[in-house]
Amino acid sequence: MTEVAAEPSPFTLAEGRTALIVIDMQRDFLLPGGFGESLGNDVGQLLKVVPPLAALIAAARTAGVMVIHTREGHQPDLSDCPPAKLTRGAPSKRIGDPGKYGRILIRGEYGHDIVDELAPVDGELVIDKPGKGAFYATELQDVLVSAGITQLLVTGVTTEVCVHTTTRETNDRGYECLVVSDCVGSYFPDFQRIGLEMIKAQGGIFGWVADSSAVIPALRGLATTAA
């Protein structure tokens, strides 16, 4: 079975042309005491994404679906961080400042890396991105084109920021996107709900939405077809 019961309409997984993208499941955003929590956010809203996303990633790996991880962050000298981004937010909690898990959102720091439960395995691509969208100033488009990918299963955090920005970027580049509702997370329950509504509104203006309980069986169907 390769059809996913999605909204606003069924989504058919295209064998060999689908990739799973896991956006910014980084310690800085998810861990208690980290950057996200220091801004007053409830990290529990993001941590609940981890178990279903781990199951989805496992199903994608079994089905031979390409898994791509992203990390938002900057060079230690901040040369790739626009001043308008750097100076936003409370002083002492800005990008590059010391935090509980190292300098905030700086490449190579402990907090910048992906949470242990979702760690990439050998051979999986990790895209380091300086922006919210995964296509901006990265190799993602070239990677997808050379792999013949036309569909993306979109997951990660946060729903209304990097997940939305990336999903919108994929639309403008001609990809079909299915956003997996329990595998994306926001610190704000209202943004989570409305963010998902916005994807599938108007006949799927940005794409499709389905729960992992609908996507995982379809991935198993792909694995069976490929065997």
**Which residues are identified as catalytic?**
24, 129, 162
Residues 129-158 that bind ligand C5J (CB under 6 A): 157-158
Residues 68-97 that bind ligand C5J (CB under 6 A): 72
162 counts as binding ligand C5J under rule CB under 6 A: yes
- Pick between residue 152 and residue 162 the one whose CB is nearest to ligand C5J: 162
Least CB distance from residue 120 to ligand C5J, whole Å? 17
Least CB distance from residue 66 to ligand C5J, whole Å? 21
167 counts as binding ligand C5J under rule CB under 6 A: no
Least CB distance from residue 16 to ligand C5J, whole Å? 29
User: In the numeric block, which tokens belong to residue 203?
Assistant: 């006949």
24 counts as binding ligand C5J under rule CB under 6 A: yes
- Pick between residue 63 and residue 114 the one whose CB is nearest to ligand C5J: 114
57 counts as binding ligand C5J under rule CB under 6 A: no
28 counts as binding ligand C5J under rule CB under 6 A: no
Least CB distance from residue 155 to ligand C5J, whole Å? 12
- Pick between residue 63 and residue 209 the one whose CB is nearest to ligand C5J: 209
- Across 166-184, b (16+ Cβ under 10 Å) vs e yields bbbbbeeeebbbbbbbbbb
Cβ atoms of residues 113 and 70 within 8 Å: no
Contact residue for ligand C5J among 43, 67, 161, 198 (CB under 6 A): 161
The full 3-state SS of the chain, as one line of letters, equals CCEECCECCCEECCCCCEEEEEECCEHHHHCCCCHHHHCCCCCHHHHCCHHHHHHHHHHHHHHCCEEEEEEECECCCCCCCCHHHHCCCCCCCCCCCEECCEECCECCCHHHCECHHHCCCCCCEEEEECCCCCCCCCCHHHHHHHHCCCEEEEEEECHHHHHHHHHHHHHHCCCEEEEEEEEEECCCHHHHHHHHHHHHHHHHCCCEEECHHHHHHHHHHHHHHHC
- Pick between residue 23 and residue 222 the one whose CB is nearest to ligand C5J: 23
Least CB distance from residue 198 to ligand C5J, whole Å? 15
- Partnered with residue 185 across adjacent β-strands are 157
- Pick between residue 84 and residue 227 the one whose CB is nearest to ligand C5J: 84
Q: Which residues bind ligand C5J (CB under 6 A)?
A: 24, 72, 157-158, 161-162
